A = this chain, B = another copy of it.
Amino acid sequence: MSKTNPGNYFEDFVLGQNIAHATPRTITHGDVALYTALTGSRFALTSSDPFARSLGLARAPVDDFLVFHMVFGKTVPDVSLNAVANLGYAEGRFLAPVFPGDTLSAVSEVIGLKENRSGKTGIVYVRTTGSNQNGERALTYVRWVMVNKRNPASTAPAPHAPDLAPAVSAADLALPQDLNFTHYDASLAGSPHLWGDYLVGERIDHGDGMTVEEAEHALATRAYQNTARVHFNQFTESKGRFGRRLIYGGHVISLARALSFNGLGNAQKILALNGGAHAAPLFAGDTVFAWTEVLDAADLKGRADVGALRLRLVATKDRPCADFLYRDAEGSYDPSVILDLDYWVALPK
């Protein structure tokens, strides 16, 4: 038997199967510093211990998307090593905050399987949960990917697509109990715009652009212990479809979120990930821009200090966003669009 892990093929997944992913990971101040250096994120809550304490936390929590990438990374060797496409996310919820020193582990449940007509691939839906060392859930989300079959001739399982919510309901959003924005200092946070200043339908051009280098996305993706080969192996990719290493889509999410500080500087805490599409690949040398549309606004149950905004975060490459480029008349993404992310975020009222 080969000692090398070939990854799972479509035939290896069983509906209802639970997968305990490898490599528990202690997230440290080192990971946090590197994340800041890779993204340029400036949100005060994750930058400053005293600022976090002024909001009731013991210290600065780890950036929500850093948590996401760490959990996601663990799933790759089991779920998507033989994936040909990352198709979507749904029902993502950020629960217990993660602090430096906490250790994340991840498990996934197979909640859907559907072979494609070609017989060469199938779609695998997993609900992944990342938990800390005390067993508290830090993050849960659904992801679906198109995975190669080992053998096109093998029998298809009974097709089952899970019933997924188009968005996390505002009523289900929850902030950590300790996190209280009553004494929020917007000046220190770097933006005067609070929850009530945003209007549904409003669009914000985040203005700045960030060029990505090979070393940067590779550092990020290795830090997450994400083993997807397309991000790292130029020898093989030079012979592949793009001739280039692909940048991990999660790095685009993090860059777009960091760019969104300019316009959303008080959007301190991600609450939920409703959905997302990696509309086109990003390559080293490309420059990422971003804009946001406010999709919805909601109160948070029992909270007068803070509210939620549902946002569409769109990232483009080599194309500033002053005109809020998105889809064409047929509904196809403009070729410059690389990310379409739908999420809920908390802002002080």
Please tell me if A51 contacts chain B, counting CB pairs below 8 Å. yes
With contacts A29-B28, A34-B33, A263-B4 known, is A47 near B225, CB below 8 A? yes
Q: Does A96 contact B (CB under 8 A)?
A: no
Tell me the A242-274 residues at the B interface (CB within 8 Å). 245, 262-265
Q: Which residues of B contact A265 (CB under 8 A)?
A: 5, 22
- Chain A stretch 14-61: residues in CB contact (< 8 A) with chain B: 20, 22-26, 28-34, 36-40, 42, 44, 47-51, 60
Q: In the complex, what residues of B have CB within 8 A of residue A28's CB?
A: 29-30, 32-33, 100
Across the interface, A44 reaches (CB within 8 A) one of B23, B100, B189, namely B23
Name the B residues within 8 Å of A24 (CB-CB): 44, 47-48, 50-51, 188
Chain A, range 192-235, C-beta contacts under 8 Å to B:
193, 197-198, 202, 204-211, 213-216, 218-220, 222-223, 225, 227, 229, 232-235
Asked if A287 is an interface residue, CB under 8 A from chain B, the answer is yes
13 contacts between A and B (CB under 8 A): A2-B263, A3-B198, A4-B262, A20-B188, A24-B48, A29-B100, A33-B223, A49-B103, A77-B190, A208-B229, A208-B232, A209-B236, A235-B320
Listed in ascending order, the chain A residues whose CB lies under 8 Å from chain B are 2-5, 20, 22-26, 28-34, 36-40, 42, 44, 47-51, 60, 77, 100-101, 103, 105, 133, 187-191, 193, 197-198, 202, 204-211, 213-216, 218-220, 222-223, 225, 227, 229, 232-236, 245, 262-265, 285, 287, 289, 318, 320
